[in-house]
Chains A and B, each alone.
Chain A
Amino acid sequence: MSFRIIVLAKQVPDTRNVGKDAMKADGTVNRAALPAIFNPEDLNALEMALKVKDQIKGAEVIVLTMGPTRAAEIIREAMYRGADKGYLITDRKFAGSDTLATSYTLYLAVKKLLPCQMVICGRQAIDGDTAQVGPQVAEKLGIPQITYAEDLVTVSEDKVVIKRRLERGVETVESTYPVAVTVHGSADSCRPRISKLLLKNKHARTVTELQAETQDYTELYANRPYLMIDEWTVDDLDAEQGRLGLSGSPTKVKKIDNVILLHKESTFLTSDDRDVESLMKELIGQHIIG
């Protein structure tokens, strides 16, 4: 029996380590200063997919990512950890996609890879914290969703039991296939790279990447076709053009304002004992504390 798990993963700027040089003088983002990383919760998603694969004979894990050429990096990273194959959905026409256009594009790509039992995403991408794409892809596929998955309790060829993390507790649910799952950061973190897989997959490339290579890969790829990371553009997807990219995105940015800090008259103090003491006394005197 074939059992297919599709992982949706995104390459994101690392907004967790926004250093001082991350902002330009005019208040806009200096994207170049932010390293591009595997969206953290998508690594939790990959781990859950690999756990399913561990337990179901013949299961395959396919990674799908939509982004620029460079995003192939995370597909390779996923292959080093156990994913079988990757697809990069890339086209200038996808630029400016909001979550609705993104989920439509990902849905079209998933549709080409059907039948599949599970679509697994991260809960949210740290560049927007929206947590919308998973449920939107599930809706478009017309399949149920299990959000905030924290633990894969049991999995078999016909159903899966998952523990979900709620705001104030946990819930265990069961579903048949197909089902979409979004994985919470409290789920198991992803297994490290496996050196055997690193060796096996380090030459995995997209067509665009191959064009930039100086070395000739023709023979290598003839013998090891799995190294090809497929690139899909608009032409490969059966899309309604109006639903893609900027024009397919109903949310528009009307304006961007720099935040005007309402400067208070801040009193500067030192860490000197007397400074700290007088501050505490003042707060007590004003009945703010005490």
Chain B
Amino acid sequence: MSLPKLEELSQSVWQGPSLSTGAIPTKEWMDTPVTFKPGGYAYPAKKEKLEYLDSQPGLNFPFARIWSPEEDDWLLPDNWKDIILKGLAERLDKFRSLKIFMDCCVRCGACADKCHFFLGTGDPRNMPVMRAELLRSVYRGEFTLAGKILGRLAGGRKMTVGVLKEWFMYAYQCTECRRCSIFCPYGIDTAEITIILRELLYSVGIGINWVIEPVSNSTKTGNHMGLQPLPFRDNIAFLAEDVENLTGVKLDVSFNRKGAEILFVTPSADAFAEPGIYTCMGYLLLFNALGLDYTWSTYASEGGNFGLFTNNEAMKALNGKMYAEAERLGVKYILGGECGHMWRVVHQYMDTMNGKTPANMEVPVSPITGTVFNNAASTKVVHITEFTADLIKHNKLNFDTSRNSHVRATWHDSCNPARAMGIIEEPRYVLDHVVDKWWEMPENTIREQTFCCGSGTGLNTDEIMELRMRSGLPRANAVKHVVDQHAVNTLACICAIDRATLTSLVDYWTPGVTVCGLTELVANALVQKGENRVDMPEGLRTMV
């Protein structure tokens, strides 16, 4: 799809019609059906990917087929409605949170203008209260006495194909970022509603390929990219060689090494694509400088878990791979790289989902500082940013900030580490030490209130680029503010989806800004023993 010019899109964001219908709605929302046009939806999940996943033990991805959102007939199974209603009933029973979220909204509207999708599309159904209402109306109409008797008068409706299509549209115009939830007086977590919508849709074979192919690849080869063990190893070795050529320090890198103290797991994009590869070079340099007893794994070669964007079983299976590998290698704990949603899964779900960690794992202790990470006592996974902040706090790293003199940075709080996990002060503390000065974006766009990149939860695919530019506008707008005020040229973050998607976003809305990971900036500034550096005007990005 061709992307509109910046001026056209900016105008359209505040004056144009809703994306879902191509017109300003004239009827009530229940009477306004959705229409799918090219560019308005992500490509459906490929049949063979769903079939492969469905064949795996413990996974359930039924009704694989070739279908198109643009066709009237989505080729649903005959009993699709029973499946959806039964699925919803099961989830209302299983997840008390869902039942509460369905019952307790008072329509106060506090969430309405907090969603980046609503701000970027102007579509009323993108108000979080409305997104939840898409499901809540069915809950009322099919599950509550008032709704069964009074129907629309009680805000209820029956489950129909039209409702299902509406779910598909708006479950994929939400990045599960949870910004709305911090403004909700009841703490209704719209992300969990979107999660349920997506799960229910998968139960009748409806999903998107940009999510399902990474899930399939992770199941088959260990990572989203589909990197098999040898190219995974070779890519990292290649990046290590680049670091050696730049710094003159020989790196010690190991793979699948039994008896290592620490298993390091990061998004596979860091081992494949720009700009993540510079973050990866940063990890390699940092760990080597520390003499860390760590290993990479070609089996657990993915931090990301797109299972979170499909269903509970897939999320659990993919998360389990890291721990299976931690057990096989006999490591004490896992050090996790700069990934976003990996931390949502680990921090919020795995305790009850995957249960106890393998017996060989221990409460993480930094081998350099002796700090005990009691916050990770149950999951045994330490975030690289807290690990690095602790090293700095104990004066274990020697920095020359002039090595980052090409960088005028601002900080993007990646939604999941910031809002879901509370990694808010640590990256700021690290930044304070590795660059001379950096600038915050406006108050209501950072920390817990951070704006999403607009393309998370597997929406980082090119066919919906206009939608992504719209939903990313609030974030881009805040970046532009610090670009204009302080000539910022670098947007730093701790998420691989961010690194990829913010690059497209700022190229569109505020060109000339570079996106990077935090560890890239750490490694740029790090003074190592025995180094013999070439001139590195662009830090680790300098080509040799």
Q: Tell whether A and B belong to one assembly.
A: no
Residues of B within 8 A of A (CB): none
Residues of A within 8 A of B (CB): none
